[in-house]
Amino acid sequence: MKKFISLVEALDDLRRRGFTEDFDLQPTCLECARLQLQLHPDDFEIVEVYRFEGATNPDDSSVLYAIEGKDGLKGVLVDAYGVYADPVSTELLAKLQVKHDHL
């Protein structure tokens, strides 16, 4: 996995590699507003994860997930506070947690 200095650098690299959609974290799924599409935990895989901490405050962290849907759709999810900050289903939390623990 590549090393990036900033979230912007990582996003730029992923976009160049085809991860062009933006996903939002919802309670039971990931949502792509542009495509009006929802991906539930069985509908996608997390293929890369990057964590970034604020320079002055470690609590200012963000996690970047590179997501690939079963249909080949590729996009990113940026979680500004980590998966614990948003109320999500047990299944979605487990899907995100597995990769999050391996950072």
Look at residue 73 and tell me whether its pLDDT is greater than 80: yes
Per-domain boundaries in the chain = 7-100
pTM of the model: 0.83
Instruction: Answer with the residue of higher pLDDT: 88 or 40.
Output: 40
Mean pLDDT across 72-87: 78
**Contact residues for 11 (Cβ-Cβ < 8 A; gap 6+):** 64, 76, 78
Max CA separation in the chain (angstroms): 40
What residues form DSSP beta bridges with 46? 67
- Model confidence over 81-98: pLDDT tens digits? 655 556 778 888 888 775
Look at residue 42 and tell me whether its pLDDT is greater than 70: yes
